[in-house]
């Protein structure tokens, strides 16, 4: 066999084997559809702007308290990917604020909130009687 062909086989074989093993592991673990089966169709996300929250307001207030405490802790924390964790936590806090506002029928601006808008929504929720 020609040395160039040998070199190509030696270079390509590990990648091919790894791909086959990885695909088999995904099928075995159920994270990838089996060959020949139809993939599930993704359902579009429903618009929930006009609907009230399905979770109890007590649970929403507890989520606000918990996520707010985490946001406060992250503002003074050091560590790996601090900015990303803080942004993700702030977005989660904004989502719960919006859900609380929908539950109490308080008008709320679109996400993401800046610090001033977040404070305004918190004040509106407090005026509506929500304590967290």
DSSP, collapsed to helix, strand or coil, labels residue 105 as: coil
**Does residue 47 have a pLDDT over 80?**
no
Q: Above pLDDT 70, what percent of the chain?
A: 83
Q: Which of the residue ranges 30-34, 35-39, 83-87 would you say has the lowest mean pLDDT?
A: 35-39
**Does residue 46 have a pLDDT over 60?**
no
Mean of the per-residue pLDDT values for the chain?
Answer: 83
What pLDDT shows up at residue 66?
96
As a whole number of angstroms, the distance between CA 74 and CA 16 comes to: 43
What pLDDT shows up at residue 49?
52
Mean pLDDT of 103-117: 88
CA 32 to chain centre: 21
What pLDDT shows up at residue 23?
85
What pLDDT shows up at residue 29?
75
Angle, helices 82-103 vs 57-75, to 10°: value is 160
Residues in the chain: 132
Q: What is the DSSP string of 39-65?
A: PPPPPPPPP-TTSPPSS-HHHHHHHHH
pLDDT-based confidence at 53, cuts 50/70/90? low
What pLDDT shows up at residue 3?
86
């Amino acid at each position: 066999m020609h040395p160039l062909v040998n070199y190509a086989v030696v270079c390509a074989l590990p990648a091919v084997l790894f791909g086959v093993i990885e695909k088999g592991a995904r099928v075995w673990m159920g994270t990838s559809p089996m060959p020949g089966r139809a993939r599930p169709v993704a359902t579009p996300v429903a618009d929930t702007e006009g609907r009230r929250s399905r979770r109890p307001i007590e649970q929403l207030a507890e989520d606000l308290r918990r996520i707010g405490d985490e946001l406060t802790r992250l503002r003074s924390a050091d560590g790996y990917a601090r900015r990303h964790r803080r942004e993700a936590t702030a977005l989660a806090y904004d989502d719960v604020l919006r859900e609380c506002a929908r539950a109490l029928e308080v008008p709320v601006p679109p996400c993401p909130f800046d610090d001033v808008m977040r404070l305004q929504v918190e004040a509106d929720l407090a005026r509506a009687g929500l304590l967290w």
